[in-house]
């Protein structure tokens, strides 16, 4: 995870939103210290090996994908399969 915007619980109107940027936010101790207090509304997922963003996902169901060639489409496909496996994304079937 390279970017996170979220509401921050526990501070009322004094501190309502937080934004975090980094190469791998999920690996940072600070993120683990506060993650239970954050209500994310946008995250960006990145490939840390090549320092590129794969996709940005919002809480209203919007997904932004960045096309940078066929290998990037493969990464995007693997990401969507992974999120589907976690039940973070559900797909409706059309009949």
pLDDT tens-digit profile of 33-78?
988 888 888 989 888 787 888 888 888 878 888 788 888 888 888 8
**Start-end of H helices in the chain:** 29-34, 70-85
Is residue 30 very low, low, confident or very high in pLDDT (cuts 50, 70, 90)?
Answer: very high
C-alpha–C-alpha distance, residues 39 and 80, integer Å = 21
- Is the pTM here over 0.75, yes or no? no
Look at residues 33, 14, 31 and name the one whose alpha carbon lies nearest to residue 23. Answer: 31
- Dihedral, CA atoms, 74, 81, 7, 24, nearest 10 degrees? -50
Judge whether residue 95 has pLDDT over 70. no
Which pLDDT score is estimated for 11?
78
Which run of H or of E encompasses 63?
Answer: strand 63-65
**Residue-wise pLDDT tens digits, 5-26:** 998 887 777 778 889 998 888 8
């Amino acid at each position: 995870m390279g970017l996170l915007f979220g509401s921050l619980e526990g501070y009322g109107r004094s501190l309502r939103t937080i934004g975090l940027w980094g190469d791998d936010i999920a690996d940072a101790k600070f993120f683990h210290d506060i993650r239970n207090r954050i209500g994310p509304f946008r995250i960006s997922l990145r490939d840390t090996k090549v320092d590129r963003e794969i996709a940005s996902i919002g809480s209203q169901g919007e997904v932004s994908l960045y096309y940078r060639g066929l290998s990037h489409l493969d990464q995007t496909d693997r990401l969507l399969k992974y999120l589907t496996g976690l039940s973070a994304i559900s797909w409706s079937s059309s009949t």
